[in-house]
Amino acid sequence: MRETRAPTLDTLLREGGKAAAGSHGVEDLVSVKLWQNPCWLSFRINFLALQFNEPIYRHIEKEHGLARPEFVVLYSLGLSDGLTASAICSSSGFPKNTISRAIQKLVDKNIIRREVDQADLRSFVLYITDEGKRIVDQAMQPMVERENIMVSSLTPAEKLMLSELLAKVVVESSKWPSMTHIEENEE
Amino acid sequence: MRETRAPTLDTLLREGGKAAAGSHGVEDLVSVKLWQNPCWLSFRINFLALQFNEPIYRHIEKEHGLARPEFVVLYSLGLSDGLTASAICSSSGFPKNTISRAIQKLVDKNIIRREVDQADLRSFVLYITDEGKRIVDQAMQPMVERENIMVSSLTPAEKLMLSELLAKVVVESSKWPSMTHIEENEE
DNA sequence: TTTTTTTAGTCCCGTATGGAACTTTGTATT
DNA sequence: AATACAAAGTTCCATACGGGACTAAAAAAA
C-alpha cells in the first residue's frame, strides 16, 4: 500500500491534465512525452510552437515568398514601426547576421525602408512600407485563425488563465541566469 | 465615455497578465509583443521555447557534441526505448531525413544501436546503449533545472494549472485541421 | 495473383543558417 | 584628449538542414 501515498509535486506537474485527457487520439510517443517526461514544460512548449510554426511559415513562404526571419522582421515592424535591427534580434532570439540578411532582402523587395539613425550613426531605423503593411495584414489572418483553433478546446476562462500564466513567465524571463557556464560536473 | 465599456475577450487575452506584471524589466519590444499582439499565444510560446532551447542545446553541443536532432533522438529513446525512426519524427516534428542522419551519427558514436525489425523489414528498431543512457542522464539535469527556473515565479498551483492547460491543448492537437490549403484569398 | 498505393528510410543537392572575424561608431576610462 | 572597450551591422565560410527524388517492403485494391 506504499503506492497510494500522496504524489510529489513533480509527479503532479508531469502528469498534469492526464486524468482529464483520457488516452484517446494522442500518438503513443506523444503521450509518453506528455506524461512520463521530467521536462513537462519544455516538451509542451516546443511541441505547440512547432505545431503552430510549421504550417504558418510554410504558408507564408508559399504565399508571400518570405522566409521565417524575414517575416519576423516584418511582423515586428508591423507591431511597432521604426525599430532597429538589434531590437528585433533580442526580442526574437535570431542571431544578428540572420536578421541583417533578412532586412536586406526586405529592403530589396521594397517591403521595408531603412534610414540611418542620426542619433547613432551605427544603427539604422527600419520602417514598414505600404506594401509591407499589406503583406502583414494579409498574413495575420491565418495566424490568428490557427491560434484560435489551437485553443478552441479551452473555455474563455481557461484561455485567459493560460495567457496570464505564460505572460507571467515571459515577464520574469529577463531575470533568469544566462546559463553561460552551467555547473561543469567534469573539469 | 465610450472607452470605458467592457473589453472584448480578444483584448483580455492579448493583455492577459498585463496588470499583474507592471512594466518593470521587460524589454520594450518584448512588452509590445506581449500586450499588443493579435497572436498572444504564439508569441508567448515561441519566446519561451527559444529561451529554453537556445542555452540548453548550446550546452549539450558543447558538453556532449550532439546537435539538436541527435539529442532529440536520444532523448526520445531515453523516455521509451525500442522506437522506430518514424515515431520519433512524428512526435518531434523533424523531417525524416534529418532524423535519419541524426540516427546514423548516433550509431557511429555507439550511443544507440539499430536492429532490423523482423516484423517489418523496412524499419529499424532503435535502442539506447549504456553510453547513451549515461549521456541523457547527465544532460537531463540542466534541462530540469532550467525548467524549474523558468517557472520559479509561479506558485505550485499555478504550475499545475499551466501544465494542465498546455497538456489539454497538446492532446487536442491531433484534431486540428492540417492547414494544407488555407483559404486562398487570391487565385 | 498481379497491380497500385502507401510507408520506412536513405541519398542528393541547393540554400539558409549561425559562429566568428571584421568595420565603424559610441561610450568609458585614465 | 588618448586609449580601451562595447555595440550595431556586415561579410565570410563551413555545415546542417529540409525538399524532393529514389529504393525497398508492406498493405490495399483489382
In angstroms, how far is C19 C1' from A157 CA?
45
CA of A77 vs chain B CAs: smallest distance (Å): 10
Q: What is the pLDDT of residue B180?
A: 63
Q: What angle do CA B166, B171, B175 make, to 5 degrees?
A: 125
Q: What nucleotide is nearest B93 when CA is compared to C1'?
A: D18
Cβ within 7 Å of nucleic strand C, residues: A 67-69, 94-95, 97-98, 101-102, 120-122; B 58, 84-86, 89, 96-97, 100, 103-104, 120, 122-124
User: What residues of B are in contact with residue A172 (Cβ under 8 Å)?
Assistant: 25, 150, 152-153
Q: What is the DSSP letter of A7?
A: P
Q: What is the DSSP letter of A121?
A: T
Determine the protein residue whose CA lies at the shortest distance from the C1' of D24.
B122
Closest CA to B21 of A164, A159, A45, A92: A164
Q: What angle do CA B150, B155, B156 make, to 5 degrees?
A: 95
Closest CA to A126 of A99, A97, A94: A99
Closest CA to B93 of B65, B56, B68, B129: B68
Dist. CA A17–CA A87, nearest whole Å: 37
Q: What is the pLDDT of residue A174?
A: 83
What is the bridge-based pairing of β-strands A124-128 and B83-84? unpaired
Are B171 and A26 contacting, i.e. CB atoms less than 8 angstroms apart? yes
Q: Which residues contact A36 (CB under 8 A, 6 or more apart)?
A: A14, B79, B80
Backbone angles phi, psi at A82, to 5 degrees: 85, 30
pLDDT in tens, chain B (187 residues): 455 677 787 887 787 667 766 656 678 899 999 999 999 999 999 999 999 999 999 999 999 999 999 999 999 999 999 999 999 999 999 999 999 999 999 999 999 999 999 999 999 999 999 999 999 999 999 999 999 999 999 999 999 999 999 999 999 988 888 776 554 443 2
Q: What is the pLDDT of residue B153?
A: 95
Q: What is the pLDDT of residue B2?
A: 54
Which class does domain B65-167 fall in?
Answer: mainly alpha
In angstroms, how far is D11 C1' from A97 CA?
9
Q: What are the E-state strand segments in chain B? A: 83-84, 112-116, 124-128
Backbone angles phi, psi at A128, to 5 degrees: -85, 140
Q: What is the pLDDT of residue A184?
A: 47
In angstroms, how far is C26 C1' from B75 CA?
46
Q: What is the pLDDT of residue B184?
A: 47
Q: What is the pLDDT of residue B177?
A: 81
User: What residues of A are in contact with residue B93 (Cβ under 8 Å)?
Assistant: 47, 50-51, 54
Q: What nucleotide is nearest B86 when CA is compared to C1'?
A: C8
Name the residue with cell 512600407: A129
Which of A42, A59, A169 minimises the CB distance to B143? A42
Q: What is the pLDDT of residue A22?
A: 62
Q: What nucleotide is nearest A102 when CA is compared to C1'?
A: C16
Task: Give the residues of chain A that fall short of pLDDT 70.
Answer: 1-4, 17, 20-25, 180-187
Closest CA to A18 of A4, A3, A36: A36
Count CB-CB contacts under 10 A for residue B64: 17
For the structural domain made of A26-152, what CATH number should be given? 1.10.10.10
Amino acid at A15: E
Closest CA to A156 of B8, B175, B180: B8
Domain ranges of chain A: 26-152
User: With an 8 Å Cβ cutoff, are A93 and B47 in contact?
Assistant: yes
CA of A24 vs chain B CAs: smallest distance (Å): 9
Dist. CA A43–CA A46, nearest whole Å: 5
User: With an 8 Å Cβ cutoff, are A41 and B166 in contact?
Assistant: yes
Q: Which residues contact A11 (CB under 8 A, 6 or more apart)?
A: none
User: What residues of B are in contact with residue A91 (Cβ under 8 Å)?
Assistant: 27, 29-30, 33
User: What residues of B are in contact with residue A76 (Cβ under 8 Å)?
Assistant: 29, 33
Determine the protein residue whose CA lies at the shortest distance from the C1' of D26.
B120
Helical spans, DSSP H, in A80-155: 85-92, 96-108, 130-150
